[in-house]
Amino acid sequence: MQLATWNVNSLGVRLPHLQQWLAQQPVDVLALQELKMTDEKFPHDELRAAGFHAASFGQKSYNGVALLARTPLRDVERITPCDGDDSARLIAATVDAPGGALRVASAYFVNGQAPGTEKFDDKMRWLDALHDWLQGELARHERLLLMGDFNIAPQDADSHAPAALAHTVCHTPQEKAHFARLLALGMADAFRLFDQPAGSYTWWDYRQASFRRNQGLRIDHILASRALAPQVRACTIDRIPRTWERPSDHAPMLVELA
């Protein structure tokens, strides 16, 4: 079984890319982030034609997450974990999978702008709330994958310039500590279960020829629960869509389960 996550950075713009990629990649489940569209505009017909059931949690202009699956999505929940924040950033559902039901979630973490700002404080609150939500979700679903754009580069290897960027957003000790707290719940970073090439990133700035120079970050992640981690057979990044015309600034990440 193959699952993936991809921040498409506007589904309205990138729908042809998504259709092309789905035609080339035999994924069973796909988590999407940064839809930048309302649920009323979500392209259910086009995705149904591609063979997918879909559930979305949309928002005009910003945010927005979705789950696509070859089989029906059950028990869909649109979650706002942080009190006072109704941003469309988290959706979860159950799918049928070898070995039993699988709980999957698509998350678009708060960016945080910069340490010392109000938006960074909002990110810390949101991460606290997400931790509590995930803890409860794991109590109900042993087989769980949390996939998405975390806006956190948890290790030095996840940044092209870890020393120079050490105190900038996505790199701070506070953000890395929050990532570690999620792992401490019994989650595994699927990508780091395997030896990976140096310079493996999922995001590159549109500016300064960052992709051509491979000046990127690995801020998109797939976390597998303790019960599911032994079934992870591979986790890879597909850089090809980042080479297409008018691409998302993120590349898809894929995980294969036995």
Residues designated catalytic: 108, 149
Lookup: tokens for 146: 């949390």
Give residues with Cβ within 8 angstroms of 24, minimum separation 6: none
In this structure, are residues 152 and 109 in contact, taking their beta carbons and an 8 Å threshold? yes
Contact between 107 and 148 (Cβ < 8 Å) = yes
Does an H or E element contain 220, and which?
A: strand 220-225
Can you tell me the distance from the alpha carbon of 163 to that of 114, in angstroms, rounded to the nearest whole number? Answer: 16
* Spatial distance between the Cα atoms of 169 and 120, rounded to a whole number of angstroms: 8
Residue 215 structure tokens: 């000046």
Cβ(119)–Cβ(111) under 8 Å?
Answer: yes
Query: In angstroms, how far is CA 194 from the centroid of its own chain?
Result: 19
